[in-house]
C-alpha cells in the first residue's frame, strides 16, 4: 500500500501579488501587492471580511485566476508557467462539488482516472485515503445519502488521494451547522497534521481561523494587514482594523502626557480620566519617536479589564447588561461618557455586581496597546 509522504521541505512564496479587475467603466484592485511565505507542513489561514481579497489570492495560487502582476513560486519554480493541473495541488470547495451519480469510491478515484493511473494503483490509493479518513464503510454509498460532514470528508479525500504538494481549502465549512463546523475543523486539522501537507485555508470566521492555524494572514480591502500566529495577531495587533476584526476590543481616546523610559504615560480623554503609568505597548511606531501631546487610541481586550465595587480603580461606570457565556461572564458597561460602551470579561461572576450597579474599571496596563490615530 502506498504511504502518503510528509512534504515538510516545501516552500510557497507570494511576491508583490496583485489582481486588478477591469471593465469598460470600472477598475477594481482586488489584491494589492501581497507578499507571503508559507513553509513546509504549515496550516496557514487567510482571514478577512467578504471581498477582502483572500479568495482571489487563493485562486491565483491555484491557477484559477490570472495574476495582474507579481510572482508565485513553489519550491523556487514559477507557478505562472504551470496550469492548475500541473501545479499538483488539492482543492476543497465550499460546495463540495461531488458527482451525485458516482459512489464515494468513484468520486475519490475520479482525479486519478483523469491522470491515467492504473486500476490497481487507484484501488490502493483510494482505499488508503478512505481508511485514513475513517470512511471505508461509506465507499459504496452515493453523495445524496450522506450527511454534510460526510460529503465534506469525501471532498477532502478526493483532494488528497493523489498526494498533492499543497492543499487549498476555500470556506470548506460554510455550509455546515455550527456544531458540525467545530467537529469538521478539528478533523481537517488532524488530517493535515497526520499527512504533514502544506495547507492554505480561506475563511471569514475568526474562531475557525484561530483554532486551526499555525499562522494566519489578515486581509482587508485587498491588502495584507498582518501575518503571525493566532496569539500574536490577537495579543499584538498591528492596526486598529486587526484589533477590531480579531476578537472583541475596547477603545479609549488617549493623550500622551509624558515619556517614561521605554514606555509612555497616557491619560484617557473624553471624560475618561484614567492614567496609565506603566508601559504601554506601541504598534509600529517606536516609543522613541513619540513625544508628549500626542493623541492616540488605547485598545484593551475585555479579559484585561476588571470590575470592582470599590473606588480604587479610576474609571467609573454603570453596569448595563450581564451575560453568562459558559466559560466566562461578560459585563457590558457604560462609562462616564455614555456613548462609550465597554466590555469586561470575567472567568466567574463578580460578587456584588448586578445590572444597574455602579462600578469602577481597572486596566491591566501591560496588555493595553496604544495606536496612532492614523494607524487604521
Round to whole Å and give the CA distance between 94 and 155.
10
In a domain, 4, yes or no: no
Host domain of residue 361? 248-372
Phi, psi torsion values for 192, nearest 5 degrees: -60, -45
What's the mean per-residue pLDDT of the chain?
A: 86
How many domains are there within the chain? 2
In a domain, 2, yes or no: no
Rg for the chain, CA atoms, rounded: 25
Instruction: Give the 3-state secondary structure of residue 86.
Output: helix
- Are 147 and 181 part of one and the same domain? yes
Q: Is the pTM of this model over 0.85?
A: yes
Q: What is the pLDDT of residues 283-325, one digit of tens each?
A: 544 445 556 667 778 889 999 999 988 766 567 889 999 999 9
pLDDT score at 316: 82
Arithmetic mean of pLDDT, 12-17: 96
Phi, psi torsion values for 256, nearest 5 degrees: -75, 125
pLDDT score at 284: 45
Q: What is the pLDDT of residues 186-231, one digit of tens each?
A: 989 988 998 899 999 999 999 999 999 999 999 999 999 999 999 9
- Are 211 and 261 part of one and the same domain? no
CATH number of the domain within which 341 lies: 2.40.50.140
Q: How far is CA 242 from CA 17, 123, 224, in A?
A: 21, 47, 10
Write down which residue in 217, 244, 271 finishes a domain.
244
Amino acid at each position: 500500500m502506498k504511504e502518503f509522504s510528509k512534504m515538510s521541505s516545501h516552500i510557497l512564496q507570494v511576491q508583490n501579488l496583485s489582481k486588478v479587475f477591469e471593465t469598460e467603466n470600472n477598475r477594481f484592485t482586488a489584491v494589492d501587492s501581497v507578499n507571503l511565505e508559507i513553509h513546509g507542513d504549515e496550516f496557514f489561514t487567510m482571514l478577512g471580511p467578504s471581498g477582502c481579497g483572500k479568495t482571489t489570492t487563493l485562486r491565483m495560487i491555484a491557477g484559477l485566476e490570472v495574476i495582474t502582476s507579481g510572482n508565485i513560486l513553489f519550491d523556487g519554480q514559477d507557478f505562472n508557467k504551470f496550469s492548475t493541473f500541473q501545479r499538483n495541488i488539492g482543492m476543497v470547495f465550499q460546495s463540495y462539488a461531488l458527482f451525485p451519480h458516482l459512489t464515494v469510491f468513484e468520486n475519490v478515484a475520479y482525479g486519478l482516472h483523469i491522470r491515467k493511473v492504473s486500476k490497481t494503483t487507484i484501488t490502493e490509493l483510494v482505499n488508503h485515503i478512505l481508511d485514513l479518513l475513517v470512511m471505508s464503510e461509506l465507499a459504496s454509498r452515493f453523495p445524496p445519502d450522506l450527511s454534510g460532514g460526510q460529503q465534506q470528508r469525501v471532498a477532502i479525500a478526493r483532494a488528497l488521494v493523489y498526494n498533492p504538494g499543497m492543499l487549498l481549502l476555500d470556506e470548506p465549512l460554510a455550509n455546515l451547522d455550527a456544531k458540525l463546523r467545530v467537529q469538521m475543523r478539528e478533523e481537517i486539522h488532524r488530517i493535515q497534521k497526520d499527512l504533514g501537507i502544506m495547507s492554505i485555508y480561506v475563511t471569514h470566521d475568526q474562531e475557525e481561523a484561530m483554532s486551526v492555524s499555525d499562522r494566519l494572514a489578515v486581509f482587508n480591502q485587498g491588502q495584507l494587514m498582518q501575518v503571525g500566529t493566532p496569539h500574536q495577531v490577537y495579543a499584538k495587533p498591528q492596526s486598529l482594523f486587526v484589533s477590531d476584526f480579531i476578537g472583541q476590543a475596547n477603545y479609549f481616546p488617549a493623550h500622551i502626557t509624558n515619556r517614561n523610559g521605554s514606555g509612555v504615560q497616557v491619560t484617557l480623554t473624553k471624560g475618561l480620566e484614567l492614567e496609565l503609568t506603566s508601559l504601554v505597548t506601541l504598534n509600529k511606531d517606536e516609543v522613541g519617536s513619540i513625544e508628549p501631546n500626542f493623541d492616540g487610541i488605547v485598545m484593551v481586550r475585555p479579559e484585561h479589564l476588571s470590575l470592582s465595587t470599590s473606588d480604587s480603580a479610576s474609571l467609573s461606570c454603570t453596569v448595563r447588561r450581564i451575560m453568562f457565556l459558559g466559560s466566562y461572564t461578560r459585563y457590558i458597561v457604560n462609562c462616564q461618557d455614555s456613548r462609550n460602551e465597554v466590555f469586561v470579561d470575567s472567568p466567574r461572576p463578580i460578587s456584588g455586581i448586578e445590572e444597574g450597579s455602579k462600578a469602577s474599571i481597572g486596566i491591566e496596563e501591560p496588555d493595553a496597546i496604544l495606536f496612532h490615530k492614523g494607524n487604521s
